[in-house]
Structure 1
Amino acid sequence: MGADSRAEQAGRGRATRGAVLVACGGLLMTACATMPDSGDVQAVKGANPGDSQVRVYAVAPRDNAEPDEIVDGFLEAMTSDDPGFATARKYLTNEAARSWKPEQSITVLTTAPDREQADRNADPENQGRAYPLSGRKIATVDARHAYQPVSPAEYEQSIHVVQQPTANGKGKEWRIDSLPPGLVLGEADFLRNYRSVNKYYFASGEDWVVADPVYIRQRQDPVTRMDPVTQTVKALLEGPTNWLKPAVDSSFLSGTELKEGVTTLTPDDQSTLRVPLNAKADRAGGDACRRMAAQLLFTLGDLTSVRVEQVELLGSGGQSLCRLGKGQAAEFAAVRNADREESPYFVDGHGKLMMLMLGAKEAAAPAEVPGPLGKPGLQLGSVAVDRGETRAAGVGSSGRELFVSSITTEQETPAAILRSKAAKPEDRLSAPSWDGRGDLWVADRDPAAPHLWMVPDGTGEPVEVRTPWLDDDARIESLRVSADGVRIALVVTRGDRTTLQIGRVQRQTTGDEPVVSVLDLQPATPRMESVTAVSWAGPSRLVVVGREAGGVQQIRYLQTDGSTSTTSVLPGLDGVTSVAAPHNDKSSVVADSGNDGIVRLAPGTNWQPVVKTGASPVYPG
């Protein structure tokens, strides 16, 4: 049965089902899960969200099934791995079975859709019955596999059943002739059947890759019959999601697909994956082929179930087009030496930039940083260190001025490169952020003249970023730019709500002047009532501090597309005002916890105090 557990819903017009260990033999069961053959018998309350070990098998409708059973059976069958959804289609009329396209979209609800009792008088002419479906819609997934969260909203649809002649023509049977488009799944069933992977494309005109998260089936795809590796490769070849497409390029020529009939891709005993492509790929030259192979290696690196150390692209005749190993692909990473252990920085109680020395078991005393930002005098309030850890940017404690200086050599106190005219400190400059290109970003929160600024190379003339969405009702509280420079995480206040938005960065050059825009803001935390802080934690993952309606403050991981799971919540911590996460999982998450000062969360441990007096902890970026 579905992991959202439609096992006991008699009160909502559904047939009551018994314990799962005996249910698979019952006539009323429409799907069942594989379970252990020992242990206590318990009533089914639903699998843990995202429990991919639970398998659901669809069961065809029984003879002379009542219309209630037909609707319930179909809803259950949608949650299965049934090839081609063939069993689910048996609940539909012939015409509905032909026209239903489950691969076109997924509607994700908080729980399995509630099926109400039908109004038997609603369709007297055709003697059909309409069954209302309801729930709370939280997301959709489109045909490109892109997840799009929405603020929880009422979902109201219906399934209509009619009687049609049986196959032998001697009677009639109930079947569904009208239904919602695509799949409709509760969140637990969705996470059990689908998993997030990152596809990778090149930042437009650049030599580094950008993550593009999508969802694929955990196991064989019912429609394409492809295993997860092949699904992932197919999704990459289909091109970037619609949101990211304007800012990235694919090295695969338009029309490049897997060779016809390929449904399984398996690495050999040398961890080399050979990918057979159609004739469109035959024209790929050496450099283009290397970039294609790099996109594949980065993409397949997200699949923990398979180890791929090298890819070989094959042309339509089976000829080798090129080979590329992980070490060679590393030159295309947005963050070089991504496996190294990173060190965080912070502002101490005297307003100086300092480096935290976090050992495996305990932290050493913070280290002084060379340069004027590490000396008394400027009185910093927030800081950012560039990806190469050679320069830092700091905003004074008054929020009025932005400074940039070296943190490897001593130099004179620099002049401010940007100033805010706002009257109140809280309305002045936000904490700064560096992207992987070496450009510096900061927001001026002046209510009279709000701006988002980009400083080319951290030293050039500040460029005002075009933000058509930044109107009188919007205020940027804080920002963090991705290492690839293509996406920006923005904490934005509108009215009484502070939310996390992900914007797409687009760059052009008009004459000699750069034109930079942040467009198409997408909500990343629609279920959170307020967001306090955010940090990048990898190519497409964020750490967010926020609070859901009626809840307490929590710290959790989520994808840039807004998807998450119940396993992503970090241990509780009170009063967090800022957070910083490393690019990889080898270093600690650090946070400013108010009364507890700077604390850290090492992998596999709980929060530990590091520095009693300090603020604005940051990793490079």
Structure 2
Amino acid sequence: MGADHEGGVRRRPVRAVVYAVCGVVLLAGCASMPDSGDLRDVESTPRQDAQVRVFAMPPAEDAQPGEIVQGFLEALTSDDPNYDTARKYLAADAAKKWRPERLTTVLSDGPSIVPDPQPGGREDAGSVSYTLAGDSVATVDAKQAYAPADGPYSKKLRLTRDAKTRQWRITSLPPGVVMGKSDFQRNYKSRDKYYFASNTWVGTSGQPVAVADPVFVREGVDPMTQVVRSLISGPTSRLSPVVRSSFPTGAALRKGTASLTPDDQNVLTVPLNDKASGVGVAQCDEMATQLLFTLRNMTPTVDTVDLRGTGGRRLCELTENRAERIAWDAAAKSPEYLYFLDSKHRLVRMVGGSPGTSAVPVPGALGESGKELRSVAVSRDERTAAGVGIDGGSLYVTSLTSSGSLGDAVVTSQGATKDDRLTTPSWDARGDLWVADRDPHDARLLLLEQGRGEPVTVQTPQLPGRIKDVRVAADGVRIALVVEKDGKQSLLVGRIERDSPEGNPVSVTDLRSVTPELEEVTAVSWAGDSRLVVAGQEHGGLLQMRYVQVDGSTPEGLAPAALSGVKAITASEDEGLPLVAYSEDGIVRLPSGGQWQKVVKDGYAPVYPG
């Protein structure tokens, strides 16, 4: 981009990189600021090993305006905790007003720096301005929530020469921070923080349901403390209407708490301010559960949290094992079986994660050969199943017991063809069953509470087309919809709202595309608390399989191994279980770190519970 600008913008990053290897800190040759006034694009740093730390350089004496701009933009990509070095490039008043934490703008590459024409065709000796330009990829807001973005980025930045010091400093700048995609990937990492679904409980003990709320934190700047502060401050705006936090309003880390680190017994002590000091034991246990769910998989390991109030008084102490009994979380619930339909169109099952290939019919009506099925879904507790008849027109619900009978269809469709009738059904943790009728003359998304009773028509005011497929998240507050319009399909994730202020008993709102580059979506499944696996293709491209986050970002790690002819796919929120697909080779599975393996040739429609 920059090389096309008048004056020939050259690319060369200007930064100091410090490598920490085996506990020894080695200073890599620090690049100096350019000694000429030529401008260069701020090129993104290639993604580095996690041990690489990048530190900013302060402005050089008598640096020219172009050097100040470049140095400032480079400083934004460093691991400086409070951007103190970046502020040295700003005039005093601008430094006070600048709030880098309020917005991060991600561009496809580092921003191009374009000098603006000076009034009258000559340089003003006291003030100059530049335009920062690029192609937007995403933004991260003040709540640290990621959102994909598209379109050109163009913002003004002005510098003034200080009358006393004669040094150039930035006096006006765009809000927040701007950087290229590879710098963002190096600096930031997605972390799930956890809340509870509003007014939702499961099981006889009435466990609240945990909901993952992904945010991006700066990985090189004490991520554990960052994510704890973010958790306590409350959910992102997208989830706030449908989740609750057990942390009281106004709760925060105690003033003066700079960093949180677990001790050698993996116990993390969390000192809280006065707003949290009056909580009871049950509420405190829920607060601790939110913390433990949020901090799992972080380094160093946290096995126990110890919440402290005023004067260091212990509010509660909770272990990870106890936390899993306090709240229901799909990622901690490993399903007992994998289910699919055999050559007789019966529902069969095999032990989940088993390397074997033998399956047996499930107990009850759906395991008998009397009713041929097209698709199925098994409830999260694996006690109930829903099956769509072979013609796609009828949905049946029955228990997975030997005494379970089929009964009458709970939903029927009048669509003219199989593809115009019912989708594969899907269960959430509440025990509610979701299915869409694709009849062009009566297209609708339906909910059967507890899998029975009169179907409720779900309001979908933002739906841009006809639903082709439905996958509800275990938490019951998010839903993935494959939507078709004008022959193209897109994968949208929306928020499920119950008893909304508008009077709708159930509605799906805030639908957002998480795979805008795909124009055909063949199959989709939830594959974690905030992750989906998708099979689809771009315009003119080959079928591909990938993981995507619910916020539209791309998770770290490799995509699943290529598989031709994918027709259906299923994954468990327990990421230790293999991915399973129905392809031209029949039912196949993908163990972690392995290659696709054939399970059975004559089988289709594989599903884990949900």
Same fold (TM over 0.5): yes
Q: 1:115 to 1:47 in 2, by over 3 A?
A: closer
Give the secondary-structure state (helix, strand or coil) at the position aligned to 1:408.
Answer: coil
C-alpha separation in 2, matches of 1:247 and 1:541: 19
Look up the match of 2:385.
Answer: 392
Q: How many Å separate the matches in 2 of 1:174 and 1:19?
A: 19
Q: Choose which of 329, 338, 344 in structure 2 pairs with 1:350.
A: 344
Alpha-carbon distance between aligned partners in 2 of 1:20 and 1:73, rounded to the nearest angstrom: 11
- Whether 2:228 is the aligned partner of 1:233: answer yes
Aligned-pair CA distance for 1:532:
2.4
* Cα offset, 1:130, TM superposition: 3.1
**Aligned letter for 2:101?**
E
1:133 and 1:322 map into 2 onto residues whose CA distance is 50
1:57 matched to 2:55? The reply is yes
Q: Could you tell me which residue of structure 1 aligns to residue 494 of structure 2?
A: 503
What secondary structure, in the 3-state scheme, does the structure 2 residue paired with 1:246 have? coil
Distance 1:359 1:104 in 2: 44
Question: Are the counterparts in 2 of residues 294 and 329 from structure 1 also a CA contact under 8 Å?
Answer: yes
Which AA in structure 2 matches 1:364? T
- 1:540-577 residue CA offsets vs partner (Å, 9 max, x unmatched): 11112223455432212222111114634111112222
Matches within 5 A, 1:11-30: 13-14=9-10, 16=12, 24-28=29-33
Distance in 1 (alpha carbons) for counterparts of 2:67 and 2:15: 18
What are the residue-to-residue correspondences of 1:31-430 with 2, within 5 Å?
48-49=46-47, 51-121=49-119, 126-127=124-125, 128-150=127-149, 152-165=150-163, 167=165, 172-206=166-200, 207-220=208-221, 227-303=222-298, 305-335=299-329, 338=332, 340=334, 342-357=336-351, 362-430=355-423
The CA deviation at 1:338 is 2.6
Query: Which secondary structure state, in structure 2, belongs to the residue aligned with residue 389 of structure 1?
Result: coil
Residue 117 of structure 1, CA deviation: 4.7
1:122-168 CA-partner distances (Å, limit 9, x unpaired) = 88585543333222212111101111123x3222223333333353x
**What one-letter code is carried by the residue in structure 2 that aligns with 1:465?**
V
Task: Tell me, yes or no, if the aligned pair for 1:54 and 1:192 is still in contact at 8 Å.
Answer: no
The question of whether the paired residues in 1 share the 8 Å contact of 2:46 and 2:182 is answered with yes
Residue 68 of structure 1 and its aligned partner are, at CA, apart by 2.1
- Once the two structures are TM-superposed, the CA of residue 101 in structure 1 deviates from its matched residue by 1.2
Match of 1:543 in 2: 533
Distance 2:537 2:191 in 1: 26
Residues 50 and 505 (structure 1), Cα distance of their counterparts in 2 relative to 1, 3 Å cut? farther
1:515 aligns with 2:505: yes
Paired with 1:501 and 1:122, the residues of 2 have a C-alpha distance of 51
Q: Distance in 1 between matches of 2:312 and 2:216?
A: 30
| Cα deviations by residue, 1:381-419 (Å, 9 ceiling, x for unpaired) | 111011111111111121110011122324333210000
Q: What CA distance in whole angstroms lies between the structure 2 residues aligned with 1:549 and 1:196?
A: 29
Contact 1:355/1:366 (CA < 8 Å) preserved in 2? yes
Match of 2:601 in 1: 612
* Counterpart secondary structure, 2:322: helix
Contact 2:44–2:183 (CA<8 Å) still a contact in 1? no
1: CA distance between counterparts of 2:53 and 2:225? Answer: 21
Measure the CA separation in 1 of the matches of 2:177 and 2:601: 52
Within the candidate set 602, 612, 617, 2:591 is matched to 602
Say if 1:11 and 1:351 are closer, same or farther in 2 by CA, change over 3 A: farther
Q: 2:548 aligns with which of 538, 545, 558?
A: 558
Structure 2 unaligned spans of 5+: 18-26, 36-41, 201-207
Native 8 Å contact 1:14 1:115 kept in 2? no
- Residue 610 (structure 1) shift: 1.7
Q: How many Å separate the matches in 2 of 1:488 and 1:101?
A: 34
> Within 1, Cα distance between the matches of 2:15 and 2:504?
65
Per-residue deviation, 1:89: 1.8
> Which residue of structure 2 aligns with residue 433 of structure 1?
426
Q: Deviations over 1:497-555 (max 9, x none)?
A: 32111111122399xx9912211112222333332221111211111222345543221
User: How many residues end up aligned between the 2 structures?
Assistant: 586
Secondary structure of 1:280's aligned partner? helix
The 1-side partners of 2:14 and 2:259 are apart by: 38
Q: Does the Cα contact within 8 Å between 1:123 and 1:129 map onto a contact in 2?
A: no
| 1:425-446 deviation per Cα after TM superposition (whole angstroms, max 9, x unaligned) | 2111110000011111000111
1:426-483 deviation per Cα after TM superposition (whole angstroms, max 9, x unaligned)? 111110000011111000111111111111111222111122223xx51111111111
The residue identity in structure 2 corresponding to 1:596 is D
Question: Which SS does the other structure have where 1:208 is aligned?
Answer: strand
Between stretches 200-209 and 327-336, larger displacement belongs to 327-336
Deviation at 1:266, TM superposition (A): 1.7
Read off the aligned partner of 2:99 and give its amino acid letter: K
> What's the secondary structure of 1:176's corresponding residue?
strand
% identical equivalent positions: 46
Asked if 1:493 corresponds to 2:493, the answer is no
Q: TM-score, normalising length from structure 1?
A: 0.88
Match of 2:452 among 452, 455, 459: 459
Change (3 A) 1:86 1:607: same
Which letter does structure 2 place at the counterpart of 1:539? D
TM-score (norm 2): 0.89
Q: CA separation of 1:129/1:496 partners in 2, compared to 1, >3 Å: closer, same or farther?
A: farther
CA distance in 2: counterparts of 1:159 and 1:442, whole angstroms: 52
Tell me how far apart the structure 1 counterparts of residues 119 and 408 of structure 2 sit (CA, whole Å). Answer: 79
Give the SS at the match of 2:508. strand
Q: Matches of 2:190 and 2:353 in 1, distance apart?
A: 32
1:297: Cα distance to partner? 1.3
CA contact (8 A) 1:6 1:112 kept: no
Q: State whether residues 477 and 493 of structure 1, in contact with CA within 8 Å, keep that contact through their aligned partners in structure 2.
A: yes
Contact 2:16 2:57 in 1 (8 A): no
Structure 2 SS opposite 1:205: strand
Query: Do residues 567 (structure 1) and 557 (structure 2) align?
Result: yes
The 5-angstrom pairing of residues 576-587 of structure 1 reads 576-587=566-577
C-alpha RMSD of matched pairs (Å)? 2.9
**Residue in 2 that maps onto 1:35:** none
Deviation string for 1:85-126 (max 9, x for gaps)? Answer: 122122222222222211111111122122235434588585
Distance 2:469 2:329 in 1: 22
